[in-house]
Amino acid sequence: MNWRTKLIHSERKVPEGFRSLVAPVFHGSTTLFRRAAAIVDTWDHDDVFYSYGSYGTPTTLELAARIAELEGGYRSFVTPGGQSALILIYMACLSGGDHVLVPESIYGPSRAFADQVLRRYRVEVEYYPPLEGPSLSQRIRDNTRLIWCESPGSITMEIQDVPAIVAGAHARGVLVALDNTWGAGVLFDAFRHEIDFSVQAITKYIGGHGDLLLGSVSVRDEALYKRIGTAFQHLGMMASPEDCFLALRGLQTLPVRLKAIEESALRVAKWLAGRPEVEIVLHPALPSCPGHEVWKRDFTGSSGLFSVVYRRPLSRQDLHRCMDRLRLFQMGYSWGGVSSLIVTPDLDEAPNARAYGDRLVRFYVGLEDPDDLISDIEQAFRV
Ligand SMILES: Cc1ncc(COP(=O)(O)O)c(C=O)c1O
């Protein structure tokens, strides 16, 4: 053979017998069939192990299997980001003419998708106050197909009465999806609470280092596995094996990181609650957070994200000047990694935060020493 052909059809083979502690990264758009009769195009790994890279390589499927195991779901799908995981559920469950119930405290880009895309396809989108529990079932109509929960809510941190919402929904045959990112899929047991779809932005705690974007959708049973899998294929939601490799690494240290983050965030939140500059700390583990009693009943712990409402009088410029003086808390979106972060919400994306106006700031506490973080805020408060 010509050397150019040899580059493609090499006789060298990787020696057998090497076993690493670490799951390898399998790349590949094309996956090979051994016989012509076996050629088939299907996402369903129950039917055919591998048929095309879009539906997963061993690396992406390993991550999906581990997330299903962690969350106690029937199966999981790994998506290119948390937002695409949310979209996968919307697209798998809704058609024109259907009705969907979405909490007012939903993650901003999820709201934007519902308002700007679903409404274009004549889906009726109705927002509900996140603290509605059993009474939410009164909003269910004959064409309601899906209820979203996100607990705690984005920015305003309300803890939802998920068991009451699920009971009302299932009594009327309506599916319930939960954005379970704040609890890393473990602090709230979605499937014990009979959720149908549990979503995580793996970008946050499982990734854990601010260096990847991934999401997951875990499903309750086989029928939902088929439904999500079909939409997964239609939407071409393949995730990068490199990112999945990083997430597999992150999974192993999740418990220790989460524990340290929980303790530090609680210390910082409690310290903030005692400051004269602060009116309310919206941290689920503190009684000042709406829905705190439900958090105590349903969650096994807390994580690093919470919000703070400053006391009046305070102008946006004062707040920005205070934030600009911070040295350890950096300004940027996302959370769940090792670095502490702070942002002011975009009130167009989080209309439920408008009641607090310019006085609300979202904190994320990472893995720095909490005393250093407290000193950092203290020096920023000093004018
Ligand atoms: C609650 C929540 N869900 C979903 C997402 C979307 O995740 P990603 O950034 O991976 O798209 C985010 C991102 O900030 C989030 O905060």
Per-residue model confidence as pLDDT tens digits over 312-323: 877 888 899 999
Per-residue model confidence as pLDDT tens digits over 200-251: 999 999 999 999 999 999 999 999 999 999 999 999 999 999 999 999 999 9
Which residue matches tokens 């994320």?
364
How deeply is 37 buried, as exposed, middle or buried, from its count of CB atoms within 10 A (0-12, 13-18, 19+)? exposed
CA of 355 relative to ligand 1 center, distance in Å: 23
pLDDT of residue 358: 85
CATH 3.90.1150.10 location in the chain:
254-381
CA of 35 relative to ligand 1 center, distance in Å: 42
Q: What is the pTM of this model?
A: 0.95
Nearest CA residue ID for atom 6, ligand 1: 82
pLDDT of residue 19: 86
Nearest CA residue ID for atom 5, ligand 1: 82
Per-residue model confidence as pLDDT tens digits over 288-340: 999 999 999 999 999 999 999 999 877 888 899 999 999 999 999 999 999 99
User: Rounded to an integer, what distance in angstroms lies between the CA atom of residue 47 and that of residue 222?
Assistant: 13
User: Rounded to an integer, what distance in angstroms lies between the CA atom of residue 179 and that of residue 199?
Assistant: 5
CA of 136 relative to ligand 1 center, distance in Å: 25
CA proximity to 268, closest of 160, 165, 362: 362
Token digits of residue 216 = 């997951």
Per-residue model confidence as pLDDT tens digits over 118-174: 999 999 999 999 999 999 999 999 999 999 999 999 999 999 999 999 999 999 999
Nearest CA residue ID for atom 8, ligand 1: 82
CATH class given for the domain over 254-381 = alpha beta
How many other β-carbons are positioned within 10 Å of the β-carbon of residue 374?
18
pLDDT of residue 316: 84
Q: For a ligand 1 pocket test, name from 106, 149, 181, 243 the mutation site with the most ligand atoms within 8 angstroms of its C-beta.
A: 181
CATH 3.40.640.10 location in the chain:
43-249
- Ligand 1 binding site (Cβ under 6 Å of any ligand atom): 81-83, 107, 154, 179, 181, 201, 203, 213, 215, 334
Q: Which CATH number applies to 43-249?
A: 3.40.640.10
